Amino acid sequence: MIENNFIKEQTIFTSCLHWTLTIVLWGTISLILYKKSKSKLKFDIISHNKIQSKNIAFAIVLLIAYLIIKYFVIGGMKIINEFNELGIVKFIFQYAYYFFEVVLIMLTISFGQRFFEGISKSKVIPFGGIVLACTWGLMHILTQSFATGIFAFVSAIIYGIVYLQLNKDSKYSYFIILLMFIL
């Protein structure tokens, strides 16, 4: 919204500049949050936890089901639609941006899950996904459309479920959520 006051016309340059500045900002903030959470909270967000094969299978089934539903909701595969719409240069920059957006998604899920598990002691409710839904979903309603916001809201809950199914393993969760997000 701030950029719209300065950039009147969206060109390849302004779009790539937007995505680059956002990546730098998000990357810097993510790194600071990671370091501070590890040193001050003794919470290592980048965790590798043992995952049972039935949980991996469930996460893969959820991924496939999500992608099938998403295909029909948006009218095709997101990655193909966006490649055709954006062209190669903007596509590369936007997808680099998406990699960092999923980092923020993971941070929100991780911190939200940890905070609410500490309060409730429940380890089966996808609190991180709920926090993400209430923030990220709401922002999409306000900045894009109601339908987009609802889709983001539901997606956030599903991402939180994936995170729990994969035993809060951030590496595997990031990978599955990234696939859900970009495909």
Mean pLDDT for back-to-back runs of 10 residues, the chain (183 residues): 66 92 96 95 89 97 98 96 97 98 97 96 94 94 91 97 97 97 97
Q: Alpha helix locations (H) across the chain? A: 2-6, 12-40, 53-74, 78-86, 88-120, 127-132, 138-143, 146-165, 170-182
159 closest CA partner among 112, 121, 94: 112
Distance (Å, rounded) from C-alpha 154 to C-alpha 161? 11
Count of the separate structural domains present in the chain: 1
Token pair in block for residue 77: 């595969």
Distance (Å, rounded) from C-alpha 122 to C-alpha 22? 35
Q: Which residue has the tokens 């459309």?
A: 145
pLDDT in the model for residue 55: 97
Instruction: Judge whether 81 and 71 are in contact, CB under 8 Å.
Output: no
Q: Which residue has the tokens 């060109």?
A: 11
Q: What letter does residue 168 receive in the DSSP assignment?
A: T
Q: Which residue has the tokens 């339908």?
A: 147
Instruction: Judge whether 160 and 113 are in contact, CB under 8 Å.
Output: yes
CA end-to-end span of the chain, whole Å? Answer: 26
Q: What letter does residue 144 receive in the DSSP assignment?
A: T
Distance (Å, rounded) from C-alpha 109 to C-alpha 159? 8
Distance (Å, rounded) from C-alpha 113 to C-alpha 123? 8
Distance (Å, rounded) from C-alpha 157 to C-alpha 136? 11
- Enclosing domain of residue 18: 2-182
Q: Is the pTM of this model over 0.75?
A: yes
